[in-house]
Amino acid sequence: MTTQQLISEIYKKKSFLCIGLDVDLTKIPKHLLKEDDSIFAFNKAIIDATNHLAVAYKPNTAFYEAYGIKGWKALEKTIKYLNKNYPEIFTIADAKRGDIGNTSTMYAKAFFEDLGFDSVTVAPYMGKDSVEPFLAFKEKHTILLALTSNKGAFDFQTQKIEGNELYKTVLKTSKNWKNSENLMYVVGATKAEYFTEIRKIIPNSFLLVPGVGAQGGNLQEVCKYGMNKDVGLLINSSRGIIYSSNKGDFAEAAATEAEKLQQQMKTILDGNHRPA
């Protein structure tokens, strides 16, 4: 999917919501455990109930790998289901991969070609030659970890390198990599005041923003400082939406929570200038 297609969907749906599909079998409704593929059954119901409210879905691969081959199959079924039934949806493999050149190419093929995701999250620690293999794929997007929403972000990401925090060095350096137009960035919502500085460095890039809701981030604040002329934000919510209920009405309950966020987004978009 091109960035322009994603932007069109955002304005069409009046939503820049991404729903995190972090499926934990101990948290889903008990009646689903009788299904052959409980994880996929849960995802399918959530997707069918919420796809008109969200522009993106983001399975975190850890939750699937934790169930071994069964989990990997559920991930594959989920992405194939999305691509077949909702091709307008932007899909994110939240995998946080990163390795040396030829190995990164293997990861890129796994997520972009084999599974067919539009994008994958990648860790920056190993530098340019660990990320560029991902950037080489046309109409695919590499979402680089910049400033994450967890406490540990302050261990290294905000440490200063010649006066600049490491995450800013990551932003600046990555702009010079080959095919850097295919980069997006992860920036946690728990630190809304950082968005002003971030937008000075990367005014045009899309940001994937976790941490709204369950982790305490504030949507209005993030939009105030983080939004750009093309919206430029994908706001992720996982637990706050998918685990709204663990009874028979779980999918409807998820849609209700998703709609609350989507309605806030609509208000923000309606107040914002939009492209012609």
Contact set with its own copies (CB under 8 A) = 22, 24, 60, 62-63, 65-69, 72-73, 76, 96-101, 103-104, 106-107, 109-110, 114-115, 123-131, 145, 148-157, 159-162, 166, 169-170, 173
Closest CB to its own copies among 59 and 232?
Answer: 59
CA distance 59 to 94: 6
Closest CB to its own copies among 49 and 126?
Answer: 126
Crossing angle between the packed helical segments 250-271 and 38-50, to the nearest 10 degrees: 40
Measured from the CB of residue 216, what is the shortest distance to its own copies in angstroms?
13
Measured from the CB of residue 97, what is the shortest distance to its own copies in angstroms?
7
Closest CB to its own copies among 68 and 271?
Answer: 68
Task: Report CA torsion sign: 131, 139, 2, 217.
Answer: negative
CA distance 227 to 203: 9
- Residue 247 sits at the vertex; the CA angle it makes with 212 and 61, to the nearest 5 degrees, is 50
Question: Which tokens belong to 74?
Answer: 């559920």
Per the annotation, the verdict on 96 as an active-site residue is yes
Closest CB to its own copies among 109 and 229?
Answer: 109
CA distance 165 to 157: 7
Closest CB to its own copies among 1 and 214?
Answer: 214
Measured from the CB of residue 72, what is the shortest distance to its own copies in angstroms?
5
> Who's near 263: CB < 8 A, 6+ residues apart?
none
Task: Report CA torsion sign: 144, 147, 153, 154.
Answer: positive
SS3 helix, strand, coil % of the chain, rounded to 5? 50, 20, 30
Burial class of residue 230, CB neighbours in 10 A (0-12, 13-18, 19+): middle
Closest CB to its own copies among 7 and 23?
Answer: 23
Measured from the CB of residue 116, what is the shortest distance to its own copies in angstroms?
11
Instruction: List the catalytic residue out of 14, 73, 77, 96.
Output: 96
- DSSP for 237-248 reads ESHHHHTS-SST
Residue 77 identity: K
Measured from the CB of residue 174, what is the shortest distance to its own copies in angstroms?
9
Measured from the CB of residue 179, what is the shortest distance to its own copies in angstroms?
15
- DSSP for 111-128 reads IIIII--SEEEE--TT-H
Number of residues written out for the chain: 276
Q: Where in the sequence numbering do the catalytic residues fall?
A: 96
